[in-house]
Amino acid sequence: MKSSFRLIIVISFISFNPTFGQTEKAGATTEIKNKEINWEEFDQTSTIQTSEIKFKDLQGLWNAYEGIYRFGEHVNAMKLTKPFIIEVQNETYRRNSKSEFKNFTIKDNIITMMDNEKVLVGIINKITETELVISWKDKANYTRYYYKK
């Protein structure tokens, strides 16, 4: 009797709740074949060399719909349905459109910023007028985003 009553409640909830099962999906993860990635390598096809990267080269809103990550021994790719962003204004940045801008530093191709008393490090792997590839480092883990303007 109790199990029949529970089944009726579940069916009623599913039938009358239009949002049931509609979760917002960040994207899809896919397996990649070549897991030997040099996360800190600078791409020589960049139009700006490492020693010449300045705040002015990062200005504006950059959107990433693709990325790859390494957590421990796991290396996979991501296709994002909503972009991850980095927005730069003068010498400040934000990585969420609703957050406040915060200061950061840049030396060669290394970005350093504070976030909730934690130091974040980003390694610029490639930079052109319309492309920006950054590998964000967290201890031994990396997340690389392929940003575009």
The pLDDT tens digits for 24-60 are 345 567 777 777 899 999 999 999 999 999 999 999 9
The dihedral over CA atoms of 63, 68, 71, 72, expressed in degrees to the nearest 10, equals -150
Q: Around 91, how many Cα atoms within 13 Å sit in the side-chain half-sphere?
A: 7
Q: What is the pTM of this model?
A: 0.79
pLDDT for res 117: 86
What's the whole-number average pLDDT of the chain? 84
pLDDT for res 36: 86
Domains located in the chain, CATH noted: 23-148 (2.40.128)
Dist CA 15 CA 131 (whole Å): 46
